Chains A and B, each alone.
Chain A
Amino acid sequence: MDDPLLECLRDPARMARLGGPAWAGLMQRARPRALLGKLGRAAADTGIEESLPPAVRRQFASVDRLCAYNDEHLRAEAFMVLHALRRTGAPVLFLKGTAYALLGLEVARGRVSSDVDIMVPRDRLEAVEQALGAAGWLSLKTDAYDQHYYRSWMHELPPLQHRHRATVMDVHHTILPLTGRIRPDAAALLAAARPVAVHGRQAFVLEPADMVVHAAVHLFQDGDLAERLRELLDIHELVTEFAGRESGFWDRLAERAALHGAGRPVWYALNFARRLLATPVPPGRLEALPSRPRRVARAAMGRLAPVALLPSLPDRPSAAAAWARRLLFLRSHWLRMPPGLLLRHLSVKAWAALRARLSSLF
Chain B
Amino acid sequence: MSRIGALAPADFARRLRAGAVLAVPPFAVRVQSRLGALHRSMHGLYGEFDLLGNAEAPDFVIRVDGTGGWRRLLRRQSMAYIDTPPPYVPLPERMAPLMFEQALNWCVATRTFTHLILHAAVVAREGRALLIPGQSGQGKSTLCAALVTRGWRHVSDEFALLDPRSLEITAHPRPISLKNQSLDVIAGWAPEVQLSEAHHGTPKGTVGYVRPTRAAVDAAPAPVRPAAILFPRFDAEGEAGLAPFGTAAAFIALTACSVNYREFGQAGFVALSRLVGELPVMSATYPDTATAVGLAERALAGTAR
Contact = CB atoms under 8 A, between A and B. Distances in A.
A52 B265 CA distance: 28
A20 B57 contact: yes
B55 A20 contact: yes
Contacts of A59: 59, 111
A119 interface: no
Given A21-B54, A23-B57, A66 B21 contact: no
Interface string B262-284: 11110000000000000000000
Interface string B45-81: 0000000011111110101000000000000000001
A50 interface: no
B58 A62 contact: no
Which one of B21, B27, B53, B59 has the highest number of Cβ atoms from chain A below 10 Å of its Cβ? B59
A65 B113 CA distance: 6
Contacts of B28: 54-55
A314 interface: yes
A45 interface: no
B166 interface: no
B30 interface: yes
Interface string A100-135: 000000000000000000000000000000000000
Given A65-B113, A65-B263, A314 B84 contact: yes
Contact of A66 (B27, B82, B263): B263
Contacts of B112: 62
B55 A19 contact: yes
A69 interface: yes
B271 to A, nearest CB: 13
A221 B156 CA distance: 49
Give the contact-size bracket for chain A.
Answer: 20 to 34
Give the contact-size bracket for chain B.
Answer: 20 to 34
Which one of B30, B61, B82 has the highest number of Cβ atoms from chain A below 10 Å of its Cβ? B61
Nearest to B112: A62
Interface in B236-275: 262-265
Interface in B183-242: none
B81 A314 contact: yes
Interface string A131-165: 00000000000000000000000000000000000
Contacts of B58: 20, 23-24, 55
Nearest to A72: B265
Interface of A: 18-21, 23-24, 27-29, 31-32, 52-56, 58-59, 61-66, 69, 72, 314-315
30 contacts: A18-B57, A20-B53, A23-B57, A23-B58, A24-B57, A24-B58, A27-B61, A28-B61, A29-B83, A31-B84, A32-B83, A32-B84, A53-B56, A54-B28, A54-B57, A55-B28, A55-B57, A55-B59, A56-B57, A58-B26, A58-B27, A59-B59, A62-B112, A62-B113, A64-B113, A65-B114, A65-B263, A72-B265, A315-B63, A315-B81
Interface of B: 21, 26-28, 30, 53-59, 61, 63, 81-84, 111-114, 262-265
Given A58-B114, A66-B113, 6 more contacts: A19-B55, A20-B55, A53-B57, A54-B28, A62-B113, A72-B265
